[in-house]
Structure 1
């Protein structure tokens, strides 16, 4: 159920991202009105331009640095989400026993199952919805950063490496790298997770659908956004590896052990 919620939230996030494209045509500056523009998008735009000017008007490098800074800010939320996810994973065997004990589908039995499940969460001090909160908090930041890049005029007039920041990558290198890094990041996130067959199917769908969608978007959008996606994904890959390192090594050793037994 929890993975289904994440699946729906992921799709909703994409819809939110696309729905904002109509406003992206409007440049952001100090005269922009509205809470979203004034308190989220404009401050991020100022941060990008300030860091870029400090780096010698290198807006590409400025986007790289600010992307890393934003990811560092939300890092504690991601660590909390990972810890909560691991706690939920540890409870899966006991939750399976409860479902087997209260397998009847009548209302009274299902109510008893719900009560026992909530008691189990309370006993181990686990909040089943806690994993959603970091996602809800970081989404405005990440989408605001996306808008800040798209609507800051200075970015469109600068180049970085082989591409112009204001136009799509002519060689399609960034979109392809964005898709590949999205796949790797999601693969690492899934590693070591114990899921039901239904959940595994949903996660596998997202594993392949998301990278393809990112590539399609990156081909059409300015290269500055592709750069943001690539840097953010690389940071997330490193972050996931260090946070889930023991679990990843355990999974790898288990697979190797299984291979040797065969």
Structure 2
């Protein structure tokens, strides 16, 4: 963990030497880490879609063989291995946690009195945003992936339905997470969530296009 933090700190210093702005450096280093994690991120997305599709298939099997216990058990056993594989794919997020933690720790140990042109109303990236602009932006970026699901073209049939409870939970958790934390951390969260939104949109387009090719 210390090794990863050291590498990221050195990378942040290199980026700062080029940009002269710690805010921009945070955005760039976040994007660099995200791009390096693309293989794991895509594997996780494909596994989630596969797991959701499999869950729908199992529900269909349960309904179809609800009066035939023996055949139901045989069919469920047949799909159990596939279900385990898809769930293991979703666990790739755990592999990313040490890197994310190290990145978080790197931002916490930044120099004092570091301002940025990206956030002109804040005198230092080490303090929280008393105007709560950063928490509001982060909350919107976290809600965006679910909101675009209401656009017919981006809707994936296997996705989990978005409810009011989920919306409220997302708003509360996102706001709390960034309300009292240093702006540097909020900037990291916003950059990360915007990147994830773009990746999600691209992934949805790919899934849609692939589905059309299969149908044709």
- The two structures have a TM-score, normalised by structure 1, of 0.65
For the residue of structure 1 that corresponds to 2:77, the secondary structure is helix
Superposed, 1:106-121 pairs within 5 Å as 112-118=74-80, 121=82
The aligned counterpart of 1:159 is 115
Equivalent-residue separation in structure 2 for 1:150 and 1:82 (angstroms): 30
TM-fit CA distance, 1:147? 1.4
Greater mean deviation of Cα atoms: 75-84 or 217-226: 75-84
Aligned residues: 202
Return the offset for 1:128: 2.2
CA distance in 2, matches of 1:79, 1:95: 24
Q: How does 1:183-222 map to 2 (within 5 A)?
A: 183-188=143-148, 191-194=155-158, 200=161, 205-222=165-182
Q: Which runs of 5+ in 2 are unaligned?
A: 211-216
Contact 1:178 1:226 in 2 (8 A): yes
Q: Which residue of 1 aligns with 2:213?
A: none
Q: Distance in 1 between matches of 2:132 and 2:56?
A: 46
Q: 1:182: Cα distance to partner? A: 0.8
Deviations 1:152-180 (A, max 9, x none): 3x2x3210131120101232211110111
Q: Which residue of 1 aligns with 2:47?
A: 84
Residue of structure 2 equivalent to 1:62:
25
**Are the aligned partners of 2:47 and 2:90 in contact in 1 as well (CA < 8 Å)?**
no
Q: Which consecutive residues of structure 1, in runs of 5 or more, have no partner in the other structure?
A: 1-35, 251-262
Q: Is the 8 A contact 1:187 1:207 kept in 2?
A: no
For the aligned residue pairs, the C-alpha RMSD in angstroms reads: 3.1
TM-score with structure 2 setting the length: 0.78
Distance (whole Å) between structure 2 residues aligned to residue 112 and residue 183 of structure 1: 41
Instruction: Please tell me whether the aligned partners of residues 89 and 193 of structure 1 are also in contact (alpha carbons under 8 angstroms).
Output: no
| Secondary structure at 2:66 match in 1 | coil
Q: How far did residue 241 of structure 1 move?
A: 0.7
